Amino acid sequence: MTTKSSSNEAKIPKGRVSRFAKMGSLASRIAGNMISEGVSELAKGNRPKVKDLLLTPANVKRVSDQLAQMRGAAMKVGQLISMDAGDVLPKELSELLARLRADAKSMPQSELMTILDSQWGAGWQSKFIQFHLKPIASASIGQVHKAIDKDLRRLAIKVQYPGIKQSINSDVDNVASLIKLSGLIPKGLDLKPLLSEAKAQLHEEANYLLEGQHLTQYASQITNDKGYVIPEWIPDLSSETVLAMTFLDGEPIENLEDSSQAIRDSIVKRLFSLFFKELFEFQLVQTDPNFANFLYDEKDDNVVLLDFGATRQYSKSMAQSYLDLMQAGFNRDKKSIKKHALQLGLITEALSEQTQESITEICFHSCEPLFIEGGYDFASSDLLERLRIIGTQLSLDKNYLHTPPVDTIFLHRKLGGLFLLATKLRAKVDLRSMFKPYLKHRLIK
């Protein structure tokens, strides 16, 4: 076992007071920088806007670096808001928060050893032939280590950062307050449902025993499906803060841009097919579309599925309503799209007719890949840009203060991630043919 420290390590503030102090210190430094920049601009004869002062490169780096060091909910809420409310946030704030998805530091090895001693007991090293103390991956609430146990099983051990559970609620509130203070979020926009759900999801993700159960449940659903593989949960080495599972080889899926067209198309086809099954057959959806959650095992031609902390169970009625919406999209029936968007809560009668039509238009455009016979070419599509433009126009409407149901937000998060991946891999996939079997599919008789 190696004990060499990494330059990417950072001690995590644990207590509520110390974490709040970090946020207060961050706010003070941002304010100081804004004053300095403001004086400089005034000296030049300019009248700077608060927004421009807030989003200087120095402040953007301060916020993302601070949240990356705090990790946990402080980092995760930034990720969630950037992905789930991106269509109503200014581009600058979305980009600031999106930086957090790829910016995480590992905990010092002394902290790691303390956690493993408390979870596995003194002398836990005897359980393993090899245990790498340097993590192979670090994220918002935990880091992953590679190991080989006495049975010669190659394992991935996910270890949760200390103090994460206890800080979730206060961190979410503190980060939300900081973002609101920026003045970049529309004043009337109600983020409470999203923040409440962020807390609930984070508490679930912080329970690694629950994630282990999700692994087992999900594996049972895809037993007969070829082309996918997921880790096997190892319960006897797992706890609420340590998750042990089999280690699976694979190339990060986002690195396959130069692979053959056939491989890229096959991977994207499998992921969309799996999404249809998740929602319309299993009602069990892994909602985190982070590219790092997918690998490709070229040797066995398998898509490796990782990280089931954000797995959500959906009701049959909700899945049926979403299926109805997509069936309407398949048929290019805007009237029916609007009807089912109302049923899902994407639209409410309280919204103006113009706003309702704008949301219907977004739903219609989102179904565009279902229109095309023979294959949708994501490489040449400007769909995401068109959706961004419509979404931006909608966000500028001062009367549009509607927050969609959280369940739909997580589905759109997953679909958006799949669209981004398909675009990155320049895939061409016949989604219309893939969806046809679901045209007469009914979840509720």
* Tens-digit pLDDT string for the chain (445 aa): 544 445 556 555 554 445 444 444 444 443 444 334 433 443 444 443 444 444 455 555 555 555 555 555 555 555 555 544 444 445 555 555 555 554 556 889 999 999 999 999 999 999 999 999 999 988 778 899 999 999 999 999 999 988 888 888 877 787 777 666 655 555 666 677 777 877 888 888 899 999 999 999 999 999 889 999 999 999 999 999 999 999 999 999 989 999 999 999 999 999 999 999 999 999 999 998 888 899 999 999 999 999 998 899 999 999 999 999 999 999 999 999 999 999 999 998 888 888 889 899 999 999 999 999 999 999 999 888 888 788 777 766 666 667 788 888 889 889 988 998 999 999 999 999 999 999 888 777 6
Distance CA 193, CA 182 (A): 20
Q: Is the separation of the CB atoms in 255 and 266 below 8 Å?
A: no
Place of tokens 């099983």: 153
- Mark out the alpha helices in 55-191 (DSSP H runs): 57-70, 72-84, 91-98, 109-120, 164-181
Q: Please, which residues bridge with residue 246 across strands?
A: 155
Detail the DSSP E strand segments found in 183-322: 228-229, 242-246, 251-252, 284-286, 294-297, 302-305, 311-313
Task: Give the pLDDT of residue 68.
Answer: 54
Q: Is the separation of the CB atoms in 287 and 410 below 8 Å?
A: yes
CATH 3.40.30.10 fits 108-160+207-248, yes or no: no
Distance CA 153, CA 216 (A): 18
**381: its two tokens:** 């599509």
Contacts of 24 (CB under 8 A, 6+ apart): none
Dihedral sign computed on CA atoms, order 81, 85, 90, 94? positive
Distance CA 37, CA 49 (A): 11
Task: Give the pLDDT of residue 3.
Answer: 45
Amino acid code (one letter) for 323: L
Report strand pairing: 142-149 vs 128-131: antiparallel
Question: Which residues are identified as catalytic?
Answer: 288
Detail the DSSP E strand segments found in 183-270: 228-229, 242-246, 251-252
Q: Is the separation of the CB atoms in 275 and 369 below 8 Å?
A: no
Q: Is the separation of the CB atoms in 122 and 22 below 8 Å?
A: no
Q: Which of 343, 364, 351 is nearest to 402 (CA)?
A: 351
Phi/psi of residue 250, nearest 5 degrees: 170, 160
What are the residue ranges spanned by the domains of the chain? Answer: 16-104+170-190, 108-160+207-248, 250-445
Task: Give the pLDDT of residue 64.
Answer: 54
Task: Give the pLDDT of residue 98.
Answer: 54
Amino acid code (one letter) for 243: L
Contacts of 138 (CB under 8 A, 6+ apart): 8, 104, 105, 106, 144
Q: Is the separation of the CB atoms in 151 and 130 below 8 Å?
A: no
Give burial (CB, 10 Å; 0-12/13-18/19+) of 409.
buried
Q: Which of 349, 343, 28 is nearest to 178 (CA)?
A: 28
